[in-house]
Each structure stands twice: as structure tokens, then as C-alpha cells.
């Protein structure tokens, strides 16, 4: 699996695009900015919804959605332990979001409870607060055996 590095850093960066590209085996150029229609310097709650809509719209083209489990910010020791425990139980590479050494939310890839890839040029990982799973989208059951 080729580790894709982000090319835009800070607020409005493309760390999540780089981690998703890594997991899906894509080039970063194949992943759009999820910040479209958002002002990165002062994001609002509505902007967070737009960002997630942009992520889900892109992932749907590949048959996936994203499920974010955890807190949005200010992770406690219990939150960090929970993310690591879930990561160990999963046993596969997956996204983890958290606070970077630069003070912003950041996306990295964990495997078996440990950092596997940080797409930021400076690295440093995150204080984990969310497990973010790419989940396959299945079609509606077509009634066979269902009432």
C-alpha cells in the first residue's frame, strides 16, 4: 500500500484526502478538496456538515461511506484509550482523527492500535479522539425472503 502525503497543510489542508487516497489506492490528484464551499480559517458547525457531505459524496463513487465514532475535540484519556482499543480490535488499517501537534484536527491511519501513516510532512501523529471507518454501501434488499 502506497502512503500518500498531503500537499496542503493547516486549516483547509488535505490530510483526510491523503489518508483516504492511501486506503483506496488512489493518487492524491484523484481526491477533490473536501473544503469546497467552506471558509477554512473560521469553520462553523454548518461547515463541518458540508465537509462531511463532501467526503461522503466522494466516497459513494467508490461504494463507501464514512462512519466517525468518538468526540469532535478535547479528547480525554478515556477517549484516547477507547480509540486505541477499537483500533487493536479492528486489526486492519483505518482512519483515526485527532488533534495534531500543530493544534488542529488531523487525519492519520492506524493499524492494530498504532500509528501506521501520518500524511503531514512534519509527522507527529495525533492525540486520537475518533475512529473513522470506511463502510461499504450495500444496495437495498430486493424482497427475497423479506416480508
Total of domains in the chain: 1
The answer to whether residue 94 is domain-embedded is yes
Contact, 106 vs 9, CB < 8 A? no
What pLDDT is attached to residue 141?
A: 38
The answer to whether residue 142 is domain-embedded is no
The answer to whether residue 124 is domain-embedded is yes
Query: Does 4 score more than 60 pLDDT?
Result: yes
Query: Does 51 score more than 60 pLDDT?
Result: yes
Distances (CA, A) of 10 to 27, 126, 131: 20, 14, 21
The answer to whether residue 4 is domain-embedded is no
The answer to whether residue 61 is domain-embedded is yes
What pLDDT is attached to residue 78?
A: 85
The DSSP secondary structure of 1-22, one letter per residue, reads -PPPPPSS-STT--HHHHHHHH
Say what percent of the chain tops pLDDT 70.
Answer: 91
The answer to whether residue 145 is domain-embedded is no
Question: Which of 21-25, 46-50, 89-93 is the least confident region?
Answer: 46-50
User: What is the Cα–Cα distance from 21 to 26, expressed in whole angstroms?
Assistant: 5
Q: What is the mean pLDDT of residues 33-52?
A: 82
The answer to whether residue 9 is domain-embedded is no
Structural domain of residue 53, as residue ranges? 15-136
The answer to whether residue 95 is domain-embedded is yes
- Taking the whole predicted model, whether its pTM rises above 0.85 is answered as yes
* Mean pLDDT score of the chain: 89
Return phi, psi of residue 115, to 5°. -60, 125
**Predicted confidence (pLDDT) per residue in 72-105, tens digit:** 767 788 888 999 999 999 989 999 999 999 998 9
Q: What Rg do the C-alpha atoms of the chain give, in angstroms?
A: 16
For the beta carbon of residue 2, count every other beta carbon within 10 angstroms.
9
Higher pLDDT, 102 or 147: 102
What pLDDT is attached to residue 140?
A: 54
**Predicted confidence (pLDDT) per residue in 109-143, tens digit:** 999 999 999 999 999 999 999 999 999 998 753 34
Amino acid at each position: 500500500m502506497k502512503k500518500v502525503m498531503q500537499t496542503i497543510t493547516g486549516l483547509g489542508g488535505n490530510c483526510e484526502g491523503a489518508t483516504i487516497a492511501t486506503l483506496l489506492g488512489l493518487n492524491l490528484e484523484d481526491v477533490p478538496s473536501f473544503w469546497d464551499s467552506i471558509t477554512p480559517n473560521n469553520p462553523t458547525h454548518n461547515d463541518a456538515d458540508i465537509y462531511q457531505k463532501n467526503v461522503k459524496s466522494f466516497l459513494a463513487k467508490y461504494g463507501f461511506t464514512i462512519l466517525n465514532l468518538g468526540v469532535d475535540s478535547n479528547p480525554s484519556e478515556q477517549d484516547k484509550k477507547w480509540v486505541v482499543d477499537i483500533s487493536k480490535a479492528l486489526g486492519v488499517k483505518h482512519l483515526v482523527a485527532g488533534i495534531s501537534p500543530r493544534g488542529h484536527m488531523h487525519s492519520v491511519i492506524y493499524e492494530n492500535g498504532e500509528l501506521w501513516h501520518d500524511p503531514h510532512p512534519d509527522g507527529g501523529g495525533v492525540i486520537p479522539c475518533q475512529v473513522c471507518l470506511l463502510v461499504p454501501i450495500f444496495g437495498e434488499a430486493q424482497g427475497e425472503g423479506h416480508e
